Amino acid sequence: MAHFNEQEFTCENKELDFPKKIKYWKNGDRINALVSGDDLEISFEFERITEK
């Protein structure tokens, strides 16, 4: 784990081809993620689903 606080955390492993870095952070009721490697970034947005 490279960085963390109450709102976000980042994990890094520069020895991997992909992903080298994964960052998660809170965005209101959602969680966002950014997965990245050398020239590629993929972003995700997760929404909490509650069962009824």
Which pLDDT tens digits describe the chain residue by residue (52 residues)? 888 999 999 999 999 989 999 999 999 889 999 999 989 999 999 988 888 7
pLDDT score, position 15: 94
pLDDT score, position 21: 96
* Cα Rg, the chain, nearest whole Å: 13
Indicate whether 39 belongs to any domain: yes
For residue 12, give the amino acid letter.
E
Indicate whether 52 belongs to any domain: no
pLDDT score, position 50: 83
Indicate whether 14 belongs to any domain: yes
Question: Global pTM?
Answer: 0.81
pLDDT score, position 30: 93
Structural tokens at position 37? 């490697």
DSSP string, 3-50: EE-SSEEEEE-TTSSS-SEEEEEEETTEEEEEEE-SS-EEEEEEE---
Indicate whether 31 belongs to any domain: yes
d(CA 44, CA 32): 6
Q: What total of structural domains would you count in the chain?
A: 1
pLDDT score, position 46: 95
